[in-house]
Structure 1
């Protein structure tokens, strides 16, 4: 059994809440987590509820029209926050069991590295993370972490396998030819296309 399979075995039967499960990253996280055996709940917009439920989530709550804290029952082993706003951080921490894991895609690392440069920004980001980890552990008994992208052959192979078996489906809203890359960027920047954009080569 490889290390990725071992991680999946550890996740089996755990309760996971995905904040922002209707977005492209959140929707992928829902599918990966369901495939690994997690019991998944998610917050999303009203237009995404059916899609998130069809992907295997046990509950999908419209964040814009419901009191999320009343709509979602129980505590979770882990929360994945794909939004990263102060209010979603508080929400996620409140939904976790003591000893649970809060994971955010929007840590300060990138912003601090852009502002101060890598040499200074990364140490500052590390200090900020350590402070948050200490605060959340002593206040809530919760492990706080940033999630970083790391591409590797094993992970890509797992993505391929899940895609081929129909367990991972990434919705594409629009396809552009490679010569239309400027138009694709403008459409995304102006939020004319909510989902993923694909650039095609000849």
Structure 2
């Protein structure tokens, strides 16, 4: 099969299109023909080696974390899916590889594709959807009437997070440029701050939850807008000891993460708020709940561009540029 791979971290010419062996189907696996693959900043971070200590991948590595497609074959112990089913997923770490014609995915990481979405739209959902679900529902336990600040509201995570937060009954503040104000308001944002003209710290106060996706300066300012007992969940770091325990990392990496997050956690404690890091995990059951919301009309995908398979490197470069409004997707098969 054809796939886009890297042979080392920081490849000079980006990903390489290659012929690689078809994946082997294990007894709990589902073989999926890839119709579309979402593109994420995580792909760029994996390519650059940012997570190599935590996720030591072997080369050549097939890239890609989001998939929508059709089931071709199932393993002997698979009961939920059958050939011909339309599905989508964020494959588990060490089983990524959606920039390819075929991929095997563990049954527990897979969900039925929302009936209302095209393959390209569905491929835009899993990673950002699970990230936001695990941040706002699982970690923050966001409740009706609470206030949440979602940074970068016009990005892939932001567009999904605004919609889920509104579904949960929260008041939503976000940052974006003036050009994207109408977009984020249409998704449900109540307070929109033009980051080029306003300082969100001067506008927002006594928030219950912050979803942090930006740099360390923005994180520190975000801690100060929380009310006592508030929660900041960061998807951009720094990683903390709890994350190291969840991943089962060795003692050395646990110590490293303790020191990486020490200053941030100390600032949070002084302010009487909570800081935690989130690196989302594959989870088919949660993705099934997201499917229900989408089919009910509670959340819609926000798409920017669809690139043909041969232009996978251009798609990744576009995501890296930071210009995308919503999600970028690669069309692999018609």
Q: Would you say same fold, with TM above 0.5?
A: yes
Q: 1-side partners of 2:207 and 2:233: how far apart?
A: 12
Contact 2:155 2:327 in 1 (8 A): no
Q: Secondary structure at the match of 2:161?
A: helix
2:268 maps to 1:136: yes
Deviation at 1:122, TM superposition (A): 4.5
Q: 2-side partners of 1:63 and 1:108: how far apart?
A: 23
Contact 2:303 2:328 in 1 (8 A): yes
- Partner residue of 1:51 out of 183, 187, 190: 183
Instruction: Compare the two structures and name the one with the higher helix fraction.
Output: 1
Relative to structure 1, is the Cα distance of residues 134 and 66 closer, same or farther in structure 2, using a 3 angstrom cutoff? closer
Deviation at 1:88, TM superposition (A): 0.9
Aligned to 1:12: 144
Unaligned runs of 5+ in 1: none
Relative to structure 1, is the Cα distance of residues 193 and 102 closer, same or farther in structure 2, using a 3 angstrom cutoff? closer
Superposition pairs of residues 1-202 of structure 1, within 5 angstroms = 11-72=143-204, 74-83=205-214, 85-109=215-239, 119=250, 120-129=252-261, 132-137=264-269, 139-190=270-321, 193=324, 195-200=326-331, 201-202=333-334
Deviation at 1:195, TM superposition (A): 4.2
Q: 1-side partners of 2:320 and 2:167: how far apart?
A: 32
Deviation at 1:134, TM superposition (A): 3.9
Deviation at 1:82, TM superposition (A): 1.4
Q: TM-score, normalised by structure 1?
A: 0.79
Q: Secondary structure at the match of 2:299?
A: coil
Q: 1-side partners of 2:186 and 2:237: how far apart?
A: 30
1:115-159 alpha-carbon deviations (Å, 9 max, x no partner): xxx64444411443355324421x100111112212212210122
Aligned length: 189
State the structure with bigger RCO (CA 8 A, min sep 6), 1 or 2: 2
Q: 2-side partners of 1:104 and 1:33: how far apart?
A: 16
Deviation at 1:36, TM superposition (A): 1.3
Contact 1:109 1:121 in 2 (8 A): no
